[in-house]
Structure 1
Amino acid sequence: MSDRSHGAPSDDASSGSDAFRLVGNEIRTDILRALGDARVEQGHKPVFSFSELRDRTETDAGSSKFNYHLQELVGQYVERVEDGYQMRAEGRALYQTLRAGTFDSRESTLTVDADFDCYYCGTGVEATVDEGTVTVECPGCDYLYGIAGAPPGAIEDDTVALEQVGAFYHHRHLGFARGVCVTCGTEPTIERVSPADVPFADGDRQELYVYRSCENCGDQRHLSLGTYLLSDPHLRAFCADHGVDVLSTPLWELEFAAIDRNVTVDASEPWEATLTVTYDDETLEIVVDEDLSVIERTHR
């Protein structure tokens, strides 16, 4: 359920450092913004001459200084073509990060109603934004429903677009549940871990986590069994039959994904666990083995 990233890339740390070095320079950042803004405006990848690009940045730097910083970007983020310069795909990715405000710091703390009640104590759950992180937690019993990086586009001073936060959180977790790192596209590793081995876990109310980690970029997620099984088509169909769209409903509003009350560890030798999902008078039971593969489904 966590969106925290603890790991680090194994082989590409230097390239990541280069990216931060580049965006730390105002002239290079202006060049990336100028090329990126032009593409957004024109709907295609435009080409600018040296003078046109310099004019679009509105920089006071002389030609030599501007050219120095431009050439620092050429090859990795900007491409030199016959008629001038255009943005490479890598530059567009960096531009999108800049435009989204991902590098911006936020000093204020903001707490809003999460619009659902705690499944354990009935208290209204709250969402708190603090230093770039959204924490969804019950103030009554302290159960943590989710913690994630705050999407900059969903936060404005004293307002949080919680629906957008939920969709962003859902997208990132579902990607990992389906076996795709949402940061770099690599297939993440998978293992089951005990709540006792997860610092933020509630060992008294959680049975297990499905831990997925990307060895390429270091991104990682701790998923509940219910969240992990959202990739199962039978579960999605069962929920849809009862009017629940698991792709648009925030994870913390899906009880079987938000808490482990419907998870049982059935055996240890060999290890098996069951997720039970009930709507109206129907129940779907999904059994997974020690490799977290579905081995049985029962519909009653």
Structure 2
Amino acid sequence: MTDDPADRTLSPDEAFEVLGNETRVDILRALGGSDDPVTFSRLRERVGMTDSGRFNYHLDRLTGHFVRKGEDGYELRRAGERVVEAVLSGAVTDAPVLERTEIDQPCHYCGAPIAVRFREERVELYCTECAGTYAHTDPGGETCADADADDADDADYGYLGYHPLPPAGVADRDPEAVFRSAWVWGHLELLAASAGVCPRCSATLDRSTRVCEDHDPDAGLCGACGRRYAVAIDLECTNCIYDESGAAVVGLADSAHLVAFLLDNGLNPFAPTAETLPAIGRAYHNFDEEVVSTDPFEARVTFAAGEDELTLTVDSSLSVVDAERR
């Protein structure tokens, strides 16, 4: 056993009780703006508290788990940094809303302009003309399709899904910049999730595959499952509440074959530009799928970029068992 208070695990009740005070949050934010340890007097000055004894009480409550005290002063521990990051991202304090706005980006299915809307840390995407990727209702348990069933004007839009984005990502950005930022942020999360790592807590994700056996690929959105594609993957964290679903590409985003295919065609999914993003979107989302067998499960997913094609044969966990480029 160690007597170091930093090594003692706090229960959720204890942690939130310690943080449930404006002065203590102000202390964490004041330390978050410094690269070097801050002396007691300098830190009290930054927080703006004149009562030294009262300030010392609040600082003492934080010291150990959230704040480290050294010979040169005080600095944040990693737990304190995570609190400051969450506060400044707006995730626990802000709720900005961006009303649905048409932007100069094409739908990856029909080429019509798309519209974006931000709410509850999601940049939702809509086609202004075609049926999109998912139904607004949720007939197949599709997590990505649950956003807008109650909106009266949703019949005029096709739902394409959403990208996660903290509230800070909306500040000082126009709708097109919000879309690009959300695409980058969401793609990085998707890479972790497709590799089996929870993008929220880093624990292991369970993967499972669903297939609509009555799928009608010519109907746009299938009447049986409410999805454009028959194959869906479900990702559920074994530790936290992360639970997402999507088309096959969600489970293939980390595929070396797919990443190399895009890069070879001049499409960098890690640093998209306004010019390359439409082509990347088409390559990722406007693919062909063929369910070869359901027992055992086997499917072929074909991506296109320019005049090139990549066909990935996948198993029941959407792991690639064969790749062919043409």
Same fold (TM over 0.5): yes
| SS at 2:128 equivalent | coil
Q: Distance in 2 between matches of 1:242 and 1:144?
A: 28
Q: Higher mean Cα deviation, 153-162 or 93-102? A: 153-162
The one of 225, 229, 252 equivalent to 1:229 is 252
TM-score, length of structure 1 as denominator length: 0.79
Question: 8 Å contact 1:195–1:203 — kept in the other structure?
Answer: no
Alignment of 1:126-165 (within 5 A): 126-140=115-129, 141=131, 142-156=157-171, 159-160=174-175, 161=177, 162-165=179-182
Tell me what 2:43 maps to.
53
Task: String of CA shifts for 1:100-131, please: whole Å, max 9, x gaps.
Answer: 22223235433333433224444311110134
RMSD, aligned CA: 2.9
Q: Distance in 2 between matches of 1:285 and 1:57?
A: 59
Question: 8 Å contact 1:101–1:152 — kept in the other structure?
Answer: yes
Question: Which structure 1 segments of 5+ residues have no match?
Answer: 1-11, 40-45
Tell me what 2:139 maps to.
none
Q: Higher mean Cα deviation, 240-249 or 104-113? A: 104-113
Work out which structure has the larger RCO, using CA pairs closer than 8 Å and 6 or more positions apart in sequence: 1
| SS at 1:192 equivalent | strand
Tell me what 2:141 maps to.
none
**2:189 pairs with 1:172:** yes
Tell me what 1:218 maps to.
241
**2:226 pairs with 1:207:** no
Task: String of CA shifts for 1:71-123, please: whole Å, max 9, x gaps.
Answer: 22122111233444221111112112222222232354333334332244443
Q: Higher mean Cα deviation, 113-122 or 168-177? A: 113-122
Structure 1 pair 21/195, CA: closer, same or farther in 2 (3 Å)? farther
Identity %: 29
Q: Higher mean Cα deviation, 241-250 or 18-27? A: 18-27
Question: 8 Å contact 1:110–1:129 — kept in the other structure?
Answer: yes
Q: Distance in 2 between matches of 1:23 and 1:138?
A: 43
Output the amino acid matched with 1:182. Answer: P
Tell me what 2:289 maps to.
263
Structure 1 residue 290 displacement after superposition? 1.4
Structure 1 pair 158/58, CA: closer, same or farther in 2 (3 Å)? same
Q: Distance in 2 between matches of 1:117 and 1:37?
A: 40
The one of 18, 27, 51 equivalent to 2:23 is 27
Output the amino acid matched with 2:27. Answer: I
Question: Which structure 2 segments of 5+ residues have no match?
Answer: 1-8, 132-156, 214-223
Q: Distance in 2 between matches of 1:218 and 1:131?
A: 16
- Aligned pair count reads 276
Output the amino acid matched with 1:241. Answer: D
TM-score, length of structure 2 as denominator length: 0.74
